[in-house]
Chains A and B, each alone.
Chain A
Amino acid sequence: MDVGSPAFKSNARRALDDRHLQEALGHARSGFVDKRAAAIEALPEFEALRAAARDIKNHTLAHLDLYLEAYEEKVTETGGQVHYAETASQARDLIRDICLRVGAQTVTKGKSMIAEEIGLNEHLAESGVEAVETDLGEYIIQLRHEPPSHIIAPAVHVTKDQIEAEFRRAHTNLSPERDLTEPTALLGEARAILRRQFQTAEVGITGANFLIAETGTSVIVTNEGNGDLTQMLPRVHIVLATIEKITPTLEDVSQILRLLARSATGQDMACYTTFSTGPRRPGDPDGPEEYHVVILDNGRSAMVGSEFQDMLRCIRCGACMNHCPVYQAIGGHAYGWVYSGPMGAVLTPALIGIDQAGHLPNASSFCGRCEAVCPMKIPLPRMMRHWREREFERHLSPTTYRWGLRLWAFFAKRPRLYQFVTRIAMRALGNLGARKGRFRRLPLAGGWTGHRDMPAPEGQTFQEMWAQRKGTP
């Protein structure tokens, strides 16, 4: 998919002015956060599970090569086929070739962020294969020709009225007089239309939440059941997953499942957690005849063993973005690629380069809520700092910012001088602003005063007060 991350600043400004988007984000803010809190409150073992899940993933990543081999062996043993892809383009070609070999004209798709990452739909379309998204949110954004704005709620930025307008535009064979005011009517219409697609598709493509080494199983977690229809009705099931989805055993997956839905939507479990192993067995009345797994690297192997390895623990629950004040204000599209919010700010630079995605790790107030709510205990703020350091080292940050930092560093390394200068500066500012108590404009501080007043300093500096109060509790 096209990269819009370099335009993050103008994207964000546009998002703040978008009335529809702000209305839609309002729904998300209250829903996700409160429901998650209630679900976690009801499970006293949640913290212990977080630690256990972190350890499982760390152990798996440290033995990733061996678990991948064990997984592959089991898939092959059960009649499935494993294909490896180093790059997005290899993965696209592998999937296209399978589709063309079986003469597919339509493929149905369960929600897959990896498929978004590699731009699969466009690639299939070039070969005359139509990919139909079946997750309601993905279906909506496919009609609107948009990328997802949230990893678990791809159409979170769209209002009900906009969905109705889109359905009326796309479903031209239905009566224009039909009543679509109720959300259930919209859902019913999508259900009926997609049912036909499930039946006609020759290939179903899903992502995977886990690949289980013990059994050679792929796991999807959904609420709608679209992923299940996608993988059980067509003749061929293709799973597209990245290397870090490997998890050792059914028990290990069960630990992480207890965190996933609670963190994502505040459910104890999603409606459907489905374990698929190989193609249909002799005597099975349903299920696909072919089962393929495409395992994609696309830059992740380089994160193994680096300061960004912890990011590979991510289970794509979306809790970090649901709780992020920046995401809450601007939504997902401003981030300009598949992954948004704090997890996107760390993952995107690793996958498309810091030169393209440099704004993302800077779009943070370092409030730390993302790390606090992450079920996998990923130190997101720390990794955003790592990216900022790399950006600085590679001279990608703006000149004024770099000079500003140098100037500050000069004084910060000379504490006496620092204290002297700040004391003088604060007194001077205090005197200048004493009458109104605030400044509407300040030289060199336009970034601040452009949006709000700067309060005039009152009395002492922090360090002076600290020195005085030292020893008194």
Chain B
Amino acid sequence: MSTRDAVLGKIRRSLGVTGNEIPRNATVDDRLRRAPKGVIPARGQLPAAERVALFVRMAEKVAASVARVAQAKDLPAAVVDYLRSNNLPATLRMGDDSLLADLRWDETPIVVSRGAAIDDDAVGLSRAFAGVAESGTLMLASGSDNPTTVNFLPETHICVVKAEDVVGDYEAAWDRLRAMFGKGQMPRTVNMITGPSRSGDIEQTILLGAHGPRRLHVLIVG
């Protein structure tokens, strides 16, 4: 008997089932298909403008900084501003996401590199497919558009999210992801990012910049 069958067999003996019971199978299939939503906090259930305002408040509460631009074409200037005012090098690592890659970076002093991030990259720029207002969380999907390494290796992470992509709760973000990838399908990695990296392992005092970015700057478009 394989280890797999041994483990499943033990669980079935403990439960007093065979695994072939039709109602049990139907219950499981139904839950996996319907993915019922549970308790959704009222906190994030707001009209669009207030929802974005809550997202900003919650992101700032976890030590992210936030700025807003009216249109995507304003992003390069906003990035230049941020890098200058924080004395950061004028370099950017980013993927192929057309919202970012098609911008006129050539009109700025910023040197742009494309593709997966490497250790030497100082600043990463990526785009979240959703922002979640209830906790100020960004949600990013991996792939050539937004390589996961860009979100973690550089000391500074700048993340763009469209105001229309800011939702109230995680469940609404999953709806969006399913619309992009299909039910039951996921990209290799989905990152929920809530503030810059931190550790409380030295005497329970929170310090920013453990292994991931020390700074998280969020740019909201729209």
Which residues of A are at the interface with B, using a C-beta cutoff of 8 A? Answer: 24, 27-28, 31-32, 43-45, 48-49, 52, 56, 59, 62-70, 72, 74, 78, 82-86, 90, 134-137, 140, 153-156, 159-160, 163, 183-184, 186-188, 191, 194-195, 199, 213-217, 223-226, 228-229, 232-233, 243, 248-252, 254-255, 257-258, 265, 267-281, 283-287, 295, 297, 301-306
Contacts and interface: CB of A to CB of B under 8 A. Distances in A.
Contacts of B15: 62, 64-65, 304-305
Nearest to A31: B204
Contacts of B36: 249, 251
Contacts of B134: 268
A249 B35 contact: yes
B10 A183 contact: no
Given A191-B211, A269-B135, A286-B148, A274 B191 contact: yes
Contact of B197 (A45, A255, A271): A271
Contact of B205 (A183, A216, A228, A281): A183
Nearest to A216: B186
B205 A84 contact: no
Given A223-B210, A226-B210, A306-B14, A297 B7 contact: yes
Nearest to A135: B201
A2 B33 CA distance: 44
Contacts of A251: 35-38, 171, 174
A350 B204 CA distance: 31
Contact of A223 (B135, B192, B200): B200
Contacts of B12: 65
Nearest to B149: A286
Contact of A215 (B25, B186, B198): B186
B14 A305 contact: yes
Nearest to B137: A269
Contact of A229 (B42, B185, B211): B211
Contact of B8 (A69, A194, A214, A279): A69
A346 B37 CA distance: 31
Given A86-B6, A214-B35, 7 more contacts: A160-B203, A188-B209, A223-B200, A223-B210, A254-B170, A267-B194, A305-B16
Interface stretch (B67-75, B102-110, B139-147): B139-147
A90 B3 contact: yes
B190 interface: yes
A302 B42 CA distance: 40
B197 A272 contact: yes
Contacts of A70: 28, 32
A396 B205 CA distance: 43
Contact of B28 (A49, A67, A78, A195): A67
Contacts of B180: none
Contacts of A72: 4
Contacts of B185: 215
18 contacts: A43-B43, A45-B41, A45-B42, A66-B25, A70-B28, A156-B204, A159-B203, A194-B211, A224-B199, A233-B149, A258-B39, A258-B41, A265-B200, A268-B194, A269-B194, A271-B193, A271-B197, A284-B143
B27 interface: yes
Given A63-B28, A249-B35, A287-B142, A187 B202 contact: yes
Contacts of B147: 284-286
Nearest to B37: A251
Given A135-B201, A270-B194, A84 B212 contact: no
Contact of A66 (B24, B62, B143, B194): B24
Contact of B174 (A45, A49, A65, A254): A254
Nearest to B28: A66
A249 B188 contact: no
B7 A243 contact: yes
B17 to A, nearest CB: 7
A223 B95 contact: no
Interface residues of B, number: 81
Contacts of A64: 11, 15
Nearest to A68: B8
A268 B189 contact: no
B198 A74 contact: no
Residue from A68, A186, A225, A275 whose CB has the most chain B CB atoms within 10 Å: A225
A122 B170 CA distance: 40
Contacts of A59: 31
A405 to B, nearest CB: 31
Contacts of A86: 3, 6-7, 10
A224 B210 contact: yes
A254 to B, nearest CB: 4
B116 interface: yes
What 8 A-B pairs have minimum CB-CB distances, sorted nearest first? A225-B212, A224-B210, A301-B10, A137-B201, A285-B116, A304-B14, A273-B192, A275-B190
Contacts of B55: none
A268 B135 contact: yes
Contacts of A67: 28
Contacts of A281: 143, 187-188
B17 A65 contact: yes
Contacts of A63: 24, 27-28
A32 to B, nearest CB: 7
Given A248-B32, A250-B35, A232 B211 contact: no
A422 to B, nearest CB: 45
Interface in B52-107: 58, 62, 95
A67 B189 CA distance: 22
B137 to A, nearest CB: 6
Interface in B123-166: 134-137, 142-144, 147-149, 151-153
Interface string B162-182: 000000011100100000000
Contact of A43 (B41, B136, B210): B41
Contact of B39 (A48, A84, A283, A302): A48
Contacts of A159: 203
B191 A228 contact: yes
B111 interface: no
